[in-house]
């Protein structure tokens, strides 16, 4: 089974590319994917955060952020269903999407710097750069009237193309190894009969026994 993982990678690459192309032309799917990502991002952070954060106030603030992010994700999922069925109030959902996503990015940056400055939580240089960028992205989203789901759809498309490319290259490497393994097995099978023949030739022939009766 491990030898054929490349099949799954090729299939996933195709699915990822197809979903990316679909999202680039369908805003309701972008709402759905954004909502799912926010819910997953929120829920999978709950227990690690509560276990590792030292201060009770810091844990409470992070928990509130997680809950708000999860609720916003659920609202976006609901919005995608409304837009997909009857169109819904598109202008309202666009505002919810824009300000909600801006809030998530901005709040993440603010809470990070609050935790490191006021609660002395440990951090790294890369995390500092990421959360500084998060503040900038959140501010840009809120104060950019042109921002809408189509821009995120293009972003998802770019990520999908990159991901599909990585999976395809990895799948190609797995398929190449699979074919090489098959070729080696065939060569080994071809060599076995030759070895058996050589062994048979090396074995000396015994003299045939004379089974004639003795003359008395």
Instruction: Look at 185 and 73; give whichever has higher pLDDT.
Output: 73
Q: For the segment 103-152, what is each residue's pLDDT rounded down to a tens digit?
A: 999 999 999 999 888 888 888 899 999 999 999 999 999 998 888 888 88
CA distance linking residue 174 with residue 32, whole number of Å:
33
| pLDDT of amino acid 186 | 75
Q: Looking at residues 31-42, what average pLDDT do you find? A: 91
Q: What's the chain's average pLDDT?
A: 81
The percent of residues in the chain predicted with pLDDT above 70, rounded, is 83
Residue whose tokens read 């609901």:
78
Distance (Å, rounded) from C-alpha 126 to C-alpha 57? 25
pTM summary value: 0.71
pLDDT tens, 57-110? 888 899 999 999 999 999 999 988 887 665 556 788 888 999 999 999 999 999
Q: Average pLDDT in the 43-69 region?
A: 87
pLDDT of 178: 77
- Which residues, 6 or more positions from 17, have their beta carbon under 8 angstroms from its beta carbon? 160, 161, 164
Mean pLDDT of the region 173-201: 70
Split at pLDDT 50, 70, 90, the class of 199 is low
Render 123-149 in DSSP notation, one character per residue.
--HHHHHHHHHHHHHHHHHHT-TT--H
Rounded Cα gap, residues 14 and 137, in angstroms: 30
């Amino acid at each position: 089974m491990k030898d054929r993982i490349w099949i799954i990678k090729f299939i996933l690459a195709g699915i990822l590319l197809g979903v990316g192309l679909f999202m680039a032309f369908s805003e309701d799917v972008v709402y759905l994917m954004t909502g799912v990502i926010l819910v997953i991002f929120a829920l999978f952070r709950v227990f690690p955060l509560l276990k590792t954060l030292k201060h009770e106030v810091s844990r409470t603030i992070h928990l509130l952020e997680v809950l708000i992010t999860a609720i916003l994700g659920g609202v976006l999922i609901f919005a995608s269903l409304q837009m997909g069925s009857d169109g819904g109030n598109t202008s309202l959902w666009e505002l919810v999407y824009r300000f909600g996503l801006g809030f998530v990015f901005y709040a993440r940056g603010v809470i990070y710097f609050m935790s490191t400055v006021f609660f002395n939580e440990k951090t790294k240089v890369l995390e500092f750069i990421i959360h500084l960028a998060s503040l900038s992205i959140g501010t840009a989203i809120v104060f950019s009237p042109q921002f809408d789901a189509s821009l995120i759809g293009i972003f998802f498309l770019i990520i999908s193309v990159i991901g599909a490319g990585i999976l395809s290259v990895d799948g190609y490497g797995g398929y190449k190894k699979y074919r090489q393994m098959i070729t080696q097995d065939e060569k080994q099978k071809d060599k076995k009969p030759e070895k058996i023949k050589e062994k048979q030739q090396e074995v000396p022939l015994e003299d045939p026994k004379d089974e004639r009766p003795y003359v008395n």
